[in-house]
Structure 1
Amino acid sequence: MTQAITSYPKEKINILFLENISDKAVQRFKQSGYENVKKLAGALGEEELMHEIKDVHLLGIRSKTKITPRVLEAAKKLQAIGCFCIGVNQVNLKEATTHGVAVFNAPYSNTRSVAELVIGAAIMLIRRIPDKNNAAHKGIWLKEAKGSFELRGKTLGIIGYGNIGSQLSVLAEALGMKVLFYDVETKLPLGNANSCKSIKEVVSLSDVISLHVPETAQTKNLINKSVLRNFKKGSILINYARGEVVDLQALANCLAAGDLGGAAIDVYPWEPEKNGDKFETPLQGLPNVILTPHIGGSTEEAQQNIGEDVSIKLFNYLEKGITFGSHTVPALSLPPVEGAHRILHIHNNVPGVLSAINTELSKNNINIVGQYLKTNEEIGYVVLDVDKKLSNKALELIRDVKETIKVRMLY
């Protein structure tokens, strides 16, 4: 069986990649015959993006570009958005769903990069390397063992035992650490890790606490003045998750008072738009603190993995109609069918749409070779394999069905 390809001429497909996305993504599409691939180094503001996106079919972004309702309204031809990062909070998912735009990301591609950096930061902090490094730069020789410890035998507390948290758990155990964790959902422990019943239990027993939770209304200021009081004295806090999770002023107060032994922070409630912009945080100037500019997942390997992962998802949706990994369009994956043309139909999820499609096709004697439907709360996704001779007529009829959002002839 020959592999099905999109029936839409490749030279008419416009692809826009922003924020210096990995060349892996560009190469995948160009090698498959898609020549209209535009890559820009930076993010675009709302007005600029509204202008650029008018004739774009596939959009690739990272974390700085905001996909607002106005942007989606201007994107009349947009089929899918690829978020070349872990999160999708920069996209208005509700509006993207309403417009029938598939949204993909790469939730697992930089887990190793983040986990390794957390271990590195923990070693640096527990040895008080930031203080010794700062002294050496000032010409002060600070050779002493006081306040410096090994990670071996210490307890790591992980809050959020997902992809990164669980991988960190394995790395920490390999270094001889004891691992405790807390997650809102029941998670199977890896190795000898032990689950705790509360955040308070984790932080009160741990020497190093690492955060790996999403940014939600429930996690905003998750680590606040009240929670910090329960931390083991002299312990270390590492946040490589999301900026809103920690009350930085409360953390700064604890560090200044000597209640905590150190901190490593990579994400902040407010972050500069571009390199070179001024950056301020209450943690600046405090002892034994490592501040990094949101680089937890920024390695060459991670960017290549993300570029490959997301571009494959975009490519599979464009050419095969596969929606696995989408946060908006329901997940379907189907093999191509010989002797038929395939039509993709996205519609508002209300009763009677599938019946209306079948009625219209039946009235016009159009044979349905295969039909698949998957829905979520907002929309439905139908894949129809119809008789080749009548597929153009079928496309016209389905496009006119009430509640239709998007229709596309795949092949």
Structure 2
Amino acid sequence: MGPPSPTGRLTMSAQRFPQNGVRELKPFDVTSVRVLLLENINQTAVQMLETAGYQVEHHAKALSETELIEKIKDAHVIGIRSKTKLTKNILQHANKLLVIGCFCIGTNQVDLDFAAQRGIPVFNSPFSNSRSVAEMVISNIIALARQLGDRNREMHRNLWFKVSSKCFEIRGKTLGIVGYGHIGSQLSVLAEAMGMHVIFYDVLQPMPLGMSKPVGSLEDLLRQADFVTLHVPETPETKNMIGAHELQLMQPGSYLINASRGTVVDIPALAQSLRAGHLGGCAIDVYPKEPFSNGKGFESELVDCPNTILSPHIGGSTEEAQSMIGVEVARSLTSFLNAGSTLKAVNFPEVNLRAIPATKALSVRLVNAHQNVPGVLLKINNILSPFNVDKQVCDSKGDVSYFMADIALRGEADIQTIHRAIGQIDENIITRVLY
């Protein structure tokens, strides 16, 4: 299913920022929506956004803070990956910005709370690279079991060591998956197809796939698994969830794989366990601190540890995954801009309405973000009371509420009346009228 039709025209927006007072933006149609894409976002996204009628400026790399502040002043939409940091300092210069797209899994590079306070939803793609990550983990399992990393490094140094000691088939071994979400469950299916026994631990109670079995605690999983792979989000609860104590619980000669978040594993403790010979090896794709750009600059205690595979955060870096991410985030952006939908927003109430029928020529869609305090809906509904409201919905998240309504009008002049009145509500953050 493609993005909403770009034939409708986005009308005026009224924004109230505490430091700026009310900022009125002139009416504009979709062809004047300016999209700034950074960090070589996949061409599928570029094409979708251009097809929607927007003006797209595409950069292959991230911008410096000074360049970004200058560029973001005129952008209605910005799309980034993981290197660009959208801090409060940068976002407070973005007085035209309507929406942010993170073409990746994480959103910790964006000040989500400040964006929400300004009525700017943030969308990401948490699941589009699931298959790519799962496949790489399978390759890591096999490579670790056969010590391929060490043999490869030796061969590049003109050394020939044909050994079978401590090299194993993965068939019949136990894979322990920590976090049985989209990636963990896909990995479960692939591992079973290769003859592995799968156990998993998750704070929720997901339905097991195939013959996989849940265990009661992380400790139970660590004690049973030959291979432990981590697929959890970055939260205060998951920080250093695998430390010296947890590593000691793992079976002697077992393996650890982390392709989730760099803060999940205590890296110095892991390096010590590897060098002491307790673990048989590890594969790490994410790190607590990662270089800002390609080239020199990577440092880690894991360098030169035995049977250790280090990769530069490429678990989801496949052509297929980047294309799917481009499609998913671009669709969310166009759905928000053209139809007001905030489904899948990470920092905003998730609200949606079915499309306005094409036969309703004088119907418009009002979308409004306002401070989540008592009495605002009463003010909005008092303004709308002279009109026929076909449907409306409102939801809140934290300090922000988001309201959508489809309204049948008597004439074009009613658009100005409604927009001006709601835009002047003291608690208004941003008001848009779509038709």
Do the aligned partners of 1:100 and 1:328 also contact (CA within 8 Å) in 2? no
Secondary structure of 2:289's counterpart equals coil
Q: 1:135 to 1:388 in 2, by over 3 A?
A: farther
| Correspondence 1:401 to 2:425 | yes
* 1:410 corresponding residue in structure 2: 434
How many Å separate the matches in 2 of 1:342 and 1:301? 36
The one-letter code of the counterpart of 1:42 is: K
* 2:383 corresponding residue in structure 1: 360
- 5+ residue gaps, structure 1, are none
* 1:6 corresponding residue in structure 2: 9
How many Å separate the matches in 2 of 1:216 and 1:71? 24
| Correspondence 1:347 to 2:380 | no
* 1:201 corresponding residue in structure 2: 220
Secondary structure of 2:163's counterpart equals coil
Aligned residues: 407
The CA deviation string for residues 354-398 of structure 1, in whole angstroms up to 9 with x for no partner, is 110122344xx4443432222223211111223151112111111
Q: Which moved more, 1:328-337 or 1:222-231?
A: 328-337
Q: 1:117 to 1:388 in 2, by over 3 A?
A: farther
* 1:294 corresponding residue in structure 2: 313
The CA deviation string for residues 135-183 of structure 1, in whole angstroms up to 9 with x for no partner, is 2222222122211100100000111111111111111111110011111
How many Å separate the matches in 2 of 1:186 and 1:47? 46
Secondary structure of 1:233's counterpart equals coil
| Correspondence 1:85 to 2:109 | no
Q: Which moved more, 1:374-383 or 1:254-263?
A: 374-383
Moved over 4 A (4+): none
How many Å separate the matches in 1 of 2:52 and 2:252? 58
The one-letter code of the counterpart of 1:184 is: V
Secondary structure of 1:74's counterpart equals coil
Secondary structure of 2:249's counterpart equals coil
Do the aligned partners of 1:330 and 1:376 also contact (CA within 8 Å) in 2? yes
| Residue 41 (structure 1) shift | 1.4
| Correspondence 1:284 to 2:303 | yes
Q: Which moved more, 1:191-200 or 1:104-113?
A: 191-200
How many Å separate the matches in 2 of 1:316 and 1:149? 50
* 2:18 corresponding residue in structure 1: none
How many Å separate the matches in 1 of 2:202 and 2:9? 43
How many Å separate the matches in 2 of 1:129 and 1:199? 28
| Correspondence 1:372 to 2:396 | no
* 1:119 corresponding residue in structure 2: 138
| Correspondence 1:184 to 2:203 | yes
The one-letter code of the counterpart of 1:230 is: L
* 2:161 corresponding residue in structure 1: 142
How many Å separate the matches in 2 of 1:391 and 1:368? 13
* 1:336 corresponding residue in structure 2: 356
Do the aligned partners of 1:159 and 1:210 also contact (CA within 8 Å) in 2? yes
How many Å separate the matches in 2 of 1:124 and 1:5? 53
Do the aligned partners of 1:4 and 1:320 also contact (CA within 8 Å) in 2? no
- 5+ residue gaps, structure 2, are 11-27
Q: 1:203 to 1:314 in 2, by over 3 A?
A: same
How many Å separate the matches in 2 of 1:6 and 1:239? 46
| Residue 3 (structure 1) shift | 7.8
How many Å separate the matches in 1 of 2:398 and 2:53? 36
How many Å separate the matches in 2 of 1:142 and 1:361? 79
Do the aligned partners of 1:347 and 1:403 also contact (CA within 8 Å) in 2? yes
The one-letter code of the counterpart of 1:400 is: Q
The one-letter code of the counterpart of 1:259 is: H
The CA deviation string for residues 114-147 of structure 1, in whole angstroms up to 9 with x for no partner, is 0000000110010111122122222222122211
How many Å separate the matches in 2 of 1:196 and 1:107? 25
**Of 24, 30, 35, which aligns to 1:15?**
35
How many Å separate the matches in 1 of 2:296 and 2:114? 31
**Of 147, 150, 156, which aligns to 1:131?**
150
Identity between Structure 1 and Structure 2 (%): 47
| Correspondence 1:228 to 2:247 | yes
**Of 19, 24, 27, which aligns to 2:47?**
27
The CA deviation string for residues 329-361 of structure 1, in whole angstroms up to 9 with x for no partner, is 322222114231112111111111111012234
